[in-house]
Structure 1
Amino acid sequence: MNENIRKAIYDKYIAPTKKERPDYIGVEIEMPVVNLSGQPVDEAVSIETAESFIRHFGFIEAGRGADGNITSAKHEPTGDILSFDCCYSNLELSFGKAADLFEIKSRFEKYCRFLNAEFSKHGYTLTGMGVNPNADINHNQPIQNERYRMLYHYLHSYPLHKNEVAMRFHERPDFGTFTSASQVQLDVRYDELTDVINVFGLLEPYKALLFANSYLPDYPDFLCVRNMLWEHSMQGYNPHNVGMFGKKVSSIDELIDYIGTQSIYCTMRDGKYIDFTPLTLDEFFSRKAVEGEYFDGEKYQKITFAPDISDLEYLRTFKFEDLTFRGTIEYRSSCCQPLSESLTVAAFHTGLKEKLYELKEILENDNVIYSHGFNALELQKLLSKRSQPYFIDENSIEKQLIRILDLSAEGLKQRDLGEEILLAPLYERAQGHTNPARTMLEGIKKCIPMINYIKQYAAI
């Protein structure tokens, strides 16, 4: 790989991990907007509710679409952001960096109570699910801004590429409009970087058992369909852009090499997003010209442009453990959780970060799931499904999950803020051998209506 590219990758992703800084937590929670009448979400209702929220909490407008509708707003004192993710039936709350999970929990619940009070006037609600239960009813159209218009166009280009890659594309390229995640960013230090990526990668199969909460009838085998939808879309055209690392990352140099094998598929010129067939960074920057498409306000036009090293800014990856330019790892594999349990994802990761090497010891010596010939990547896919593999012993799984949760609780106790109480719902799941998606599907099997779970998972 060209040394200029290696240096640019190092400066963007590695150098920030060397900076001395306090340990902060960043939380982003996406939530489906649901019309309880079973009709599609009317975007005017979402927009009106967002405008009311902005006025009530003193947020400042940060973005509007080409149609003039609000897309995001920010609260300057806290750094909190309300936005719509991809479309107006997926609302996101992002929180300014905080040192205390209870600070985030308090604001999250305050915001959600207000939003749901407003939504209820129209027979709507935000709920805590990783897939919008009305995914097949909603219009699932992108917000009219440069980024989401480009993304929607890019994801829908998959039929043109079916013969280029050895993978099966699914038939739901609109998945970004109806999938909701719970993501947490934690600061990472240079000397722990490869261990964090490797150890938390080994943890992913256990996380699938605890946090699965995205069921889509199109793919009934999955309790957590979100990750499959990402991986078998144009986002996964290059598998190094999504999911797990697949093998142990042994050094920083190897990590830089890996990032160099990731693909870029978009950039901007003159305020316009351009998307193109994905190219690895090495290939992209070795070309004198790349051909892509951009929207001119009426239709898509072809364009040829010269790559520039500044285009590295537009590398979009969706790894489960995603290294960011902020010197953080963003943990991206968890579904949105029931709203009353939303901080379980952040608490779980925060506690285990404090106990990285004890977690490494547990997982590298695990013989509960890692003694049957399957690696972490394969196990994560298997354990995301409704039917468990033949070798799974539920009692052994329960003991190992409790051991991991106890370790997270110890890490949180070290912080001396009482945050370990936030793990309580996860202990219940481990002991009940369940997760929100499994609980919902077992209830539906007993003739409990879906609307009951929509309301239950919306409660705070």
Structure 2
Amino acid sequence: MTKQQAIQLLKEKYLSNMKQDSELFVGIELEYPIVEINGNKTNTEVTKDLFRTLAKRSDFEVEKRDDDQNPIQLVHCSSKDRILFELSYNTIEFAFERAHSIDEVAKRFEAYLKIIQPILQENNHDIQGQGIHPQWKQNDNSPVKNERYKMLMAFLAMKDTGMETHSFPSYGAFICGNQVQLDVKRDNYIRVINAFNKIEAAKAYLFSNSEFSGAEWDTKISRDIFWEKSLHGYFEENVGIYSKDYQSEGEFFNNLVKTAIFTATREGKSYYFKPIRVKDYLEQKEIKAYTADGHKKNIKPMKEDLKQHRSYQFQDLTARGTVELRSVCTQSLETTFAPIAFELGLFVQLEKLENYLKSCAFFEKEKPDYRELRKKYSKKVLSNEEKEIIQSFSKDLIDIARQGLIKRNFGEEKFLVINKELD
């Protein structure tokens, strides 16, 4: 199997569902910790009981259950939004059906919270807007009891890989993110990826919300380290920020083929293995793989395995014909939709954004090393000069985003509430 054949398989996966029309939909996913309000560990019986209670309502149906037959994913009958546990029983995710505007999603989210928060508060729990679960250390961070989540947690805890990782392989059970998917087309997805890759420093400054008490990391966005220094980051190309701008589709897929495959399904069972680059995967004669409960099996790679491929970049091309923007921490409840408004407004103003980035003062003062710039501007303490530079850059981007939201005429500019100092 040649590298070009592997690239062709990736193109079939990621390009086949791209739309040709210009109608724009917004897909939003929000993850939150469920927190015991007195500082005790999250009681997973309380969180499981929340899902049981919701499942009894006529407007929800159970879509997935765990090995103990507890509901772990619900679908709202009319909106088709999903409410689910995100890896552990301590975190909840709202995966909204695509919508024409942020306001549609915000109203549905508010309606769900009005149902859910009182149920949790009866037992001294609630949903909180934090990027790290505040009781991460006390909590039972075991995965939800289904094969996929157990396999993923076992993979992240894998030993003897030759990689020096951080000491928190269960991090997926307590980090929470704010993600949006936007429809792209064949003629603009590279432009979108390049433009948003350039502004990660500003997003780090504006939306950081995941300081971590368990390690002495000088960052307000620990989720970056959790991803990059775990097995998801076994290959640098697999996570985070792209190191350069892409000049063509071919160049983009030449990079994507360097990302990792670490899982495959055989006879209905999920297996994980030490990460292998896509370009090398089908050349393997045999792969030593494991089930979530530790059973070993040698498997032969198959073309169909590439359908399970997923990389974890901050600007991630998906098989749905979207680019997923996934570098933002969960925000406080009152500013949940601020980063989404920021990203959507800039997306609408793509050409204006590109023109601004070509000549802006920020890149006259800073070298365009996008990875290092995100690290620099997510530090806990910035110098006065650094503050001045990043605040000016951020303010300009917010202005462009606001113009884009006003242009859409949905009133979405009301969500662009930024709590960071900008003057």
Q: TM-score range by the shorter chain?
A: over 0.9
Map of 1:228-239 to 2, 5 A cutoff?
A: 228-239=225-236
> How many equivalent residue pairs?
421
Aligned counterparts of 1:279 and 1:370: Cα–Cα separation in 2: 39
The aligned counterpart of 1:276 is: 273
Per-residue deviation, residues 325-348 of structure 1 (Å, max 9, x unmatched): 011000010001011111112111
Aligned counterparts of 1:105 and 1:373: Cα–Cα separation in 2: 38
Which amino acid is 2:85 matched to?
Answer: F
Aligned counterparts of 1:263 and 1:389: Cα–Cα separation in 2: 38
Q: TM-score, normalised by structure 1?
A: 0.88
Q: Given the alignment, which residue of 225, 250, 255 partners 2:252?
A: 255
Deviation at 1:362, TM superposition (A): 2.0
Q: Given the alignment, which residue of 290, 304, 312 partners 2:306?
A: 312
Q: Given the alignment, which residue of 202, 206, 213 partners 2:198?
A: 202
Deviation at 1:367, TM superposition (A): 2.8
Aligned counterparts of 1:233 and 1:203: Cα–Cα separation in 2: 24
Q: Normalized per residue, which structure has more helix?
A: 1
Give 3-state SS (helix, strand or coil) of 1:310's partner.
Answer: helix
Deviation at 1:108, TM superposition (A): 0.5
Does residue 1:62 correspond to 2:83, yes or no? no
Which amino acid is 2:413 matched to?
Answer: E
Which amino acid is 2:71 matched to?
Answer: I
Give 3-state SS (helix, strand or coil) of 1:334's partner.
Answer: strand
Q: Given the alignment, which residue of 219, 238, 243 partners 1:241?
A: 238
Which amino acid is 1:65 matched to?
Answer: D
Contact between 1:219 and 1:225, CA under 8 Å: does it hold in 2?
no
Deviation at 1:77, TM superposition (A): 2.4
Aligned counterparts of 1:390 and 1:228: Cα–Cα separation in 2: 25
Aligned counterparts of 1:304 and 1:420: Cα–Cα separation in 2: 54
Aligned counterparts of 1:145 and 1:293: Cα–Cα separation in 2: 16
Deviation at 1:410, TM superposition (A): 0.7
The aligned counterpart of 1:160 is: 160
Deviation at 1:391, TM superposition (A): 4.9
The aligned counterpart of 2:121 is: 120
The aligned counterpart of 1:10 is: 11
CA distance change for structure 1 residues 198 and 57 in 2, over 3 Å: closer, same or farther?
farther
Contact between 2:3 and 2:280, CA under 8 Å: does it hold in 1?
no
Deviation at 1:430, TM superposition (A): 3.9
Deviation at 1:150, TM superposition (A): 0.4
After TM superposition, where is structure 1 displaced by more than 6 Å over at least 4 residues in a row? none
Structure 2 alignment gaps of length 5 or more: none
Which amino acid is 2:195 matched to?
Answer: V
Does residue 1:347 correspond to 2:341, yes or no? yes
The aligned counterpart of 1:90 is: 91
Q: TM-score, normalised by structure 2?
A: 0.95
Does residue 1:186 correspond to 2:182, yes or no? yes
Give 3-state SS (helix, strand or coil) of 2:14's partner.
Answer: helix
Contact between 1:383 and 1:389, CA under 8 Å: does it hold in 2?
no
Q: Given the alignment, which residue of 315, 320, 338 partners 1:326?
A: 320
Contact between 1:402 and 1:430, CA under 8 Å: does it hold in 2?
no
Q: Given the alignment, which residue of 345, 350, 357 partners 1:356?
A: 350
Contact between 1:372 and 1:391, CA under 8 Å: does it hold in 2?
no
Give 3-state SS (helix, strand or coil) of 1:122's partner.
Answer: coil
Give 3-state SS (helix, strand or coil) of 1:34's partner.
Answer: strand
Map of 1:303-452 to 2, 5 A cutoff?
A: 303-368=297-362, 371-373=365-367, 375-388=369-382, 391-392=385-386, 394-423=387-416, 425-426=417-418, 428-431=419-422
Deviation at 1:16, TM superposition (A): 2.5
Deviation at 1:369, TM superposition (A): 5.5
Deviation at 1:18, TM superposition (A): 5.0
Per-residue deviation, residues 255-290 of structure 1 (Å, max 9, x unmatched): 111111111000111111100010011111112322
Aligned counterparts of 1:430 and 1:390: Cα–Cα separation in 2: 12
CA distance change for structure 1 residues 399 and 3 in 2, over 3 Å: closer, same or farther?
closer
Aligned counterparts of 1:6 and 1:396: Cα–Cα separation in 2: 40
Per-residue deviation, residues 376-399 of structure 1 (Å, max 9, x unmatched): 11010111120226851x334323
Aligned counterparts of 2:34 and 2:135: Cα–Cα separation in 1: 9
Per-residue deviation, residues 293-352 of structure 1 (Å, max 9, x unmatched): 114xxx411111121111112212211000000110000100010111111121111111
Aligned counterparts of 2:22 and 2:376: Cα–Cα separation in 1: 38
Structure 1 alignment gaps of length 5 or more: 433-460
Contact between 1:23 and 1:186, CA under 8 Å: does it hold in 2?
yes
Aligned counterparts of 2:259 and 2:367: Cα–Cα separation in 1: 28
Give 3-state SS (helix, strand or coil) of 2:18's partner.
Answer: helix
Map of 1:290-305 to 2, 5 A cutoff?
A: 290-295=287-292, 299-305=293-299
Contact between 1:294 and 1:300, CA under 8 Å: does it hold in 2?
yes
